[in-house]
Amino acid sequence: MKKTIFVIIYCCLVSGSFAQNERRSQIWNKNEVIIQPWKNISIDVAEKIHYSPEHNAANVKYAEIYISHELLKWFEYGAGFRVSKSNLYPGWIQENRTMFIGNFTKQYNLFIFKYSNRFEYRSFENNLNHFRYRQEFRVDFPSLTTWGMKFYTSEESFYKLNGIGLHLARLYGGISVVQSVHFNLKMYYALEKYKLIENWGTTDIIGLNTSFIL
């Protein structure tokens, strides 16, 4: 519990120091329900909100559904669909996203390594449609407690396949506060770099994820 409190205080201090440097900050919350109707088949339904403290309002809201199949212990594949709304000038813009995933997992001693791939087709109301590729590499460290508390770190990057290339990247550091058979709770800090017309901007993110496994 002391380590959890330390992580919360550290994330708040880091977020505050970044805000003083006029870096954009956000608070993310994701809630999901995972259903396993058959062996090695999972259905994941989730909703997520990105909240901007500077504007005191949400700037991204989305809902999504995934269906995945664990073909082997080290490989799973699947597909999903997301409906997202972003608060951009002059108003909210809707995106419909079709996604295909292929994930590889390897356990070494008590460490778990996961490499995720996702191909997307993003369809917008303003007709700026495009394909995009997202990759993530994640490391889960050994559990600190019997209820599954453990640290993890990951990096992810996004590549638009319309000639723009890399336009978004994030580096995460977090803790799985609770990881049980039916409930997971995760907290994290993420440093995000996003591409502007000629420069790169920075966002500091504090996030909370909850998962219910049925």
Phi then psi for residue 149, to 5 deg, are -65, 130
Joined together, the tokens standing for residue 144 give 């600190």
pLDDT number for residue 4: 41
Q: How confident is the model at residue 22 (pLDDT cuts 50, 70, 90)?
A: low
CATH topology of domain 2-213: Porin (2.40.160)
User: Distance (Å, rounded) from C-alpha 117 to C-alpha 191?
Assistant: 20
- For residue 209, pLDDT over 60 is answered with yes
Please tell me what DSSP assigns to residue 1. Answer: -
Give pTM, 2 decimals.
0.85
Q: What average pLDDT score do residues 185-197 get?
A: 94
- Give the pLDDT confidence of 35-54 residue by residue, as tens digits: 999 999 999 999 999 999 98
Mean pLDDT taken over the chain: 89
Average pLDDT of the segment spanning 10-37: 72
At 3, the pLDDT band (50, 70, 90 cuts) reads very low
The token pair at 148 is 């599954």
Residue 182: name the closest of 209, 208, 212 by CA.
212
Token digits for 181? Answer: 């058979």
Q: Identify the band that residue 13 occupies on the pLDDT scale cut at 50, 70 and 90.
A: very low
- The predicted pLDDT at position 125 comes to 82
Query: What DSSP letter does each residue of 44-106 carry, written as one string?
Result: EEEEEEEEETTTTEEEEEEEEEEEEEEEETTEEEEEEEEEEEEEETTEEEEEEEEEEEEEEEE
How sure is the predictor about 90, in pLDDT bands with cuts at 50, 70 and 90?
confident
Mean pLDDT of 120-133: 92
Cα end-to-end span (Å), the chain: 27
Higher-confidence position of 180 and 19: 180
CA gap 214, 202 in Å, rounded: 37
Domain ranges in the chain are: 2-213
